[in-house]
Amino acid sequence: MATVVVMPKLGQSVETCIIIGWIKQKGDSITAGEPLCEVETDKSALEVESPASGTLLDVFFDEGEEVPVQVNIAAIGEPGEDITSLKPNVSAESPPEDKSSATTDEPVQAVPTQPAAFEVPRKRPSKSDRIKRRISPRAASLAEELGIDISGIRGTGPGGRIIERDVRAAPPTSVQPAAGQTRMTPPIQTELPPGETQSVPLQGTRKIIAERMLYSIQSTAQLTLNASADARALLSFRQRLKSSTEAFDLQNVTINDFILFAVSRTLPDHPELNAVLVKEAISQYESVHLGFAVDTPRCLMVPVIRDANTLNLKAISREAKRLTAACLEGDVSPDELTGGTFTVTNLGNMGIESFTPILNPPQVGILGVGNVNLKPVEVDGEVRHIPHIGLSLTIDHQTVDGAAAARFLGTLSGRLTAIDLLVAM
């Protein structure tokens, strides 16, 4: 009897996966545990292994298609077996129901809010409209809640079906202005400038990142504050650890590890920054689930160190290195990339002094770290050049006041200035 290959559920928040490519083709022999295809979630890419040995009788989806989890994607068995009953019924006429995400205590994605420039009428798609447009129930519910006109939305789900992500990424022009108001639409360049070009499709993870960055800017009131911290203690303490024979397990601690440790100890004193905004409700967390940006060949990833405020410097350094290696090797799980309450992104090793980090909704704060530069400081009537590290904090001004953000930066700066004492506490 033929064995079915099912699109695995690769995390509690994952609803669909994109088939990047088939490693095996129809008619190929395959062994149990051998890679069958490569799939991509909205967070990472990984291989799907064959559950059985035999012949790949058929594949039910093409490369590039987005497939709901728990749906049959292929069949393995003996040549000539009838696999008609195993083929999934994922068609335009009968789309599958979206599977609701399991209830967790982790933060979830915020629902976009509309600008206050005008009142948005609640335009609800009719039942016949849903069927005609092939919109999933969850996407239809979200469209109703936000007053989104689905007629102009292009579906990216199987068979062109509109899924929840498509509604979240809908441009502002999908929202109908109130009566008597005029929508201001800037001109859009539709023709490419002359010259040779290389076409790179905006798809997969890159497309998802683009959608999330646009959503972040459109749905939050972002304000960035820039400061710096005396880095002498950071530099000297790291140097002492590198050359110490007694603290061998701390010799590989990096400046970024020190930053993560200091942030994890500062956020509990400023709970308004260790929070998420979901459906007009602010949830402040006691535990610090600290995300940090990792640059990989495929894309930027943000793994999360769980309960970072309970970990010592050694444990934070070890976990950060483990998660970084998993991201670079493509082994990180989707659940390790979700549920953060605050994010740190460090561009200091690339020579950047300061920048404007973009929020990772529903989080309300993200810290950008710059490089170490000499800064003129007056000490006892004399100007001295002291190394300082750049800090750029972006907040969602809907929930965090500028003064509160400034206090957080002040506390963090003070703790970085005395990092050796903070570690010893």
Q: From residue 246, how far is each of 241, 242, 264, 278 by CA, in Å?
A: 9, 10, 26, 47
CA distance 190 to 54: 50
CB under 8 A, 24+ apart: contacts of 123-131: 123/147, 123/148, 123/149, 123/176, 125/150
Give the integer Cα–Cα distance in Å for 419 and 217. Answer: 34
Strands (DSSP E) contained in 281-401 are: 281-284, 290-292, 294-295, 300-301, 304-305, 342-346, 365-379, 382-396
Are the C-beta atoms of 337 and 358 separated by less than 8 Å?
no
- State the catalytic residue, choosing from 129, 149, 397, 420: 397
Q: Establish whether 270 is a catalytic residue.
A: no
User: Three-class SS of residue 365?
Assistant: strand
401 catalytic residue (yes or no): yes
CA 353 to centroid of chain Cα atoms = 24
My answer on whether omega of the bond before 362 falls inside 30° of 0, hence cis, is yes
Closest alpha carbon to 396 in 341, 370, 358, 368: 358
Query: CB burial class (10 A; 0-12, 13-18, 19+) of residue 241?
Result: buried
Determine which one of 28, 249, 331, 401 is catalytic: 401
Tell me 108's DSSP state. -
Element (H, E) at 146: helix 137-146
Extract long-range pairs of 91-97: CB within 8 Å, 24+ residues apart.
Answer: 91/159, 92/134, 92/159, 92/160, 92/161, 95/134, 95/136, 95/157, 95/158, 95/159, 95/161, 96/68, 96/71, 96/158, 97/136, 97/137
User: How many whole angstroms from its chain centre is CA 211?
Assistant: 11
Instruction: State the DSSP H helix or E strand holding residue 210, giving kind and residue range, or none if neither.
Output: helix 204-219
Task: Give the residue numbers marked as catalytic.
Answer: 397, 401
